[in-house]
Amino acid sequence: MAQAINKTGKIIKGISGFYYIYVVGSGIYECKAKGIFRQKKMKPLVGDHVTIEVLDEENKLGNLVDIAPRFSELIRPAVANVDQALVIFAGHDPEPNFQLLDRFLVMMEYQQIPVHICFNKADLLTKEEQDDLCGIYDAAGYQVLFTDAQKGTGVEEIRSLLADKTTTVAGPSGVGKSTLVNCLMEDAVMETGAISEKIRRGRHTTRHSELLYLGENTFLMDTPGFSSMYLPEFEKEDLKNCYPEFLPYSGDCRFLGCSHTHEPDCAVKQALEEGRISPVRYENYKYLYHELEQAKKY
């Protein structure tokens, strides 16, 4: 009997017990997980780096036999080994919902995933509006990018941000996510030919979370658009640590454990008054803080 060949790759999709593994230079294998994972109570996740045993090279079938240790594990969406998130909103049409954006930023801060913010439909924004948007997030340390996915403006910058990383993309519907992802995919197809073509198929029909291959070592997690986001596993005391621009001031508040909402001599509120913290961010913070406070009561 021929010796089984092992290969290593990355899970790009999982559907009812089948895992699709992208192997550089070989393509996509359809694999089943062996029983050892059930014994170990380990569920393979999209994004996992795995070893497969090839059962049928021609039909690209195999067994998933090992999972490498994860360096990160996101809950929403469920994906392993994500390096960063890219959140996309439109400059206008639909108007950006800053509170929804903050919810997303908070979730990512909580999970310690770096985030970049992209405002698409930049063609609908004036220079002043762009500066205002930057002003909200600069102090918090987020990189803000502007794109016009229809014309391809700013897409190169996004591309270099994504290179060599696995990125989860999120944003409300209608902001141009698909248009932008298609822009990025088109070049991937030109570079990688048939392999990307195979991943591309079914992309528009799948409702499952899936990693798209954009180029060497570069993957995008295409998630369904979100319209709301709830922060259930949060304590209200955790929230202030998810606003990076508060941290330089919080040591100077009069009270240890100051919530920055109602206390006197609050250095965060002082920074707000002096224009060093954005009122948009601060108001969202207060709103979310009270929401978490209410949620605890039931």
Select the span of 41-49, 198-206, 257-265, 283-291 touching Zn ion (CB under 5 A): 257-265
**210 lies in the site for ligand GDP, by CB under 6 A:** no
Structure-token pair, residue 108? 């990512």
Structure-token pair, residue 213? 């291959």
Integer Cα distance of 211 and 46 in angstroms: 7
**212 lies in the site for ligand GDP, by CB under 6 A:** no
Structure-token pair, residue 268? 């965060």
The identity of residue 152, as a single letter, is G
**169 lies in the site for Zn ion, by CB under 5 A:** no
**253 lies in the site for Zn ion, by CB under 5 A:** yes
Distances (CA, A) of 208 to 42, 108, 221, 251: 20, 21, 10, 44
> Cα–chain-centroid distance for residue 230?
16
Integer Cα distance of 230 and 67 in angstroms: 31
Supply the minimum distance, in Å, between the C-beta of residue 151 and ligand GDP: 7
Structure-token pair, residue 84? 């960063």
Supply the minimum distance, in Å, between the C-beta of residue 190 and ligand GDP: 20
Q: Which 3 state secondary structure label does DSSP give 101?
A: helix
Residue 277 buriedness (CB in 10 A; 0-12 / 13-18 / 19+): buried
Integer Cα distance of 262 and 293 in angstroms: 14
Select the span of 104-112, 176-184, 252-260, 277-285 touching ligand GDP (CB under 6 A): 176-184
Select the span of 15-23, 35-43, 202-210, 259-267 touching Zn ion (CB under 5 A): 259-267
Supply the minimum distance, in Å, between the C-beta of residue 111 and ligand GDP: 23
Size of the site for ligand GDP (CB under 6 A): 15
Supply the minimum distance, in Å, between the C-beta of residue 181 and ligand GDP: 8
Supply the minimum distance, in Å, between the C-beta of residue 257 and ligand GDP: 40
Integer Cα distance of 96 and 119 in angstroms: 9
Phi, psi angles (nearest 5°) of residue 111: -90, 5
**178 lies in the site for ligand GDP, by CB under 6 A:** yes
Closest-CB residue for ligand GDP?
176
**178 lies in the site for Mg ion, by CB under 5 A:** yes
**179 lies in the site for ligand GDP, by CB under 6 A:** yes
Binding site for Mg ion (CB under 5 A): 177-178
Binding site for Zn ion (CB under 5 A): 253, 258, 260, 266, 268
